[in-house]
């Protein structure tokens, strides 16, 4: 993508200040990516630690729900705290704010109640192409990171993380899914996991996933964990963490430090 194709602005300028932003962290910046795949310009928020500026290449943590009024501020704070405590390596954080969340983060479904949640659903393949073919190359061009990428998401974003792990595992090195909405499409994604795991090659990958106190989420995550116990290749480092003390609304902040430390240690 040509340099002229993106515009650089300070994060928060069009959106207001970031509540809960990491104290003492380098100020985030934002740029836009005109996406041919999605047919719209997408804002991107980035936090770059000083240790990653012009020195050794750093891994990149990508996140859907990455707006300044979504989950970017508290994930940025967690990443900064983990780096300060030397629990993870210096890491660039890249957040993608939503424009049509339920479109981008869900795969196709045959379930009528799924289709009723938004005017358009089932766009995860296009959103994945946007990440692979447009955003990741632009992040690489701008910041020259290491060839090591992680992705974190909760709820529908967690569903997207698990789907990407199963259908295109080479796209990221580390996958973190918190209370993923694996009920989508009648649980078909989990049902197909055993066959999909056969596509994993010998390149090391990791996946961390967790469930809160919702029985439907717990059951799906336990089925996925059972499949991994019997079908995961030796190259995969994985961990499932049930957290019945947390709710769907609290699990992201409640377990993000543990999850990111597992992925980016």
- Distance, in Å, from the CA atom of 106 to the CA atom of 111, rounded to the nearest integer, reads 12
Give pLDDT, residue 3. Answer: 32
Q: Return averaged pLDDT per consecutive 10 residues of the chain, 265 residues in all.
A: 31 34 60 97 96 85 97 97 96 97 96 93 97 97 95 98 96 97 96 87 90 95 96 93 97 97 96
User: Which class for 2: exposed (0-12), middle (13-18), buried (19 or more C-beta within 10 A)?
Assistant: exposed
Instruction: Using DSSP, state whether 54 is helix, strand or coil.
Output: coil
DSSP H helical ranges for the chain: 72-84, 101-104, 112-115, 124-129, 136-143, 156-167, 184-191, 193-197, 215-231, 251-264
Q: Six-digit token pair at 96?
A: 């993608």
Give pLDDT, residue 201. Answer: 73
- Distance, in Å, from the CA atom of 51 to the CA atom of 88, rounded to the nearest integer, reads 13
Give pLDDT, residue 26. Answer: 64
First to last CA, the chain: 32
Give pLDDT, residue 28. Answer: 84
Cut 0.85: pTM above it: yes
Question: What DSSP state is assigned to residue 135?
Answer: I
Question: What DSSP state is assigned to residue 36?
Answer: T
Q: Six-digit token pair at 203?
A: 């390149």
Give pLDDT, residue 7. Answer: 30
């Amino acid at each position: 993508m040509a340099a002229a194709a993106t515009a650089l602005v300070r994060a928060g300028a069009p959106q207001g200040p970031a509540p809960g932003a990491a104290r003492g962290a380098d100020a985030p910046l934002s740029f836009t990516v005109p996406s041919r795949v999605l047919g719209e310009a997408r804002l991107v928020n980035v936090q770059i630690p000083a240790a990653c500026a012009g020195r050794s290449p750093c891994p990149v943590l990508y996140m859907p729900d990455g707006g300044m009024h979504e989950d970017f501020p508290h994930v940025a704070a967690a990443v900064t705290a983990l780096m300060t405590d030397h629990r993870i390596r210096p890491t660039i954080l890249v957040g993608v704010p939503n424009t049509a969340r339920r479109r981008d983060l869900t795969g196709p479904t045959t379930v009528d109640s799924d289709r009723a949640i938004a005017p358009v659903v089932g766009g995860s393949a296009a959103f994945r192409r946007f990440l692979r073919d447009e955003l990741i190359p632009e992040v690489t061009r701008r910041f020259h990171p290491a060839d090591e990428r992680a992705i974190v998401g909760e709820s529908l974003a967690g569903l997207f993380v698990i789907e990407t792990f199963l259908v295109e595992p080479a796209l990221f090195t580390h996958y973190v899914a918190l209370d993923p909405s694996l009920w989508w499409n009648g649980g078909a994604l989990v049902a197909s996991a055993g066959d999909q795991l056969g596509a994993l090659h010998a390149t090391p990958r990791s996946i961390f996933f967790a469930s809160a106190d919702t029985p439907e989420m717990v059951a799906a995550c336990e089925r996925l964990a059972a499949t991994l116990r019997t079908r995961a290749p030796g190259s995969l480092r994985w961990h499932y963490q049930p957290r019945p003390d947390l709710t769907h609304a609290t699990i992201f902040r409640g377990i993000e430090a543990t999850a990111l430390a597992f992925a980016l240690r």
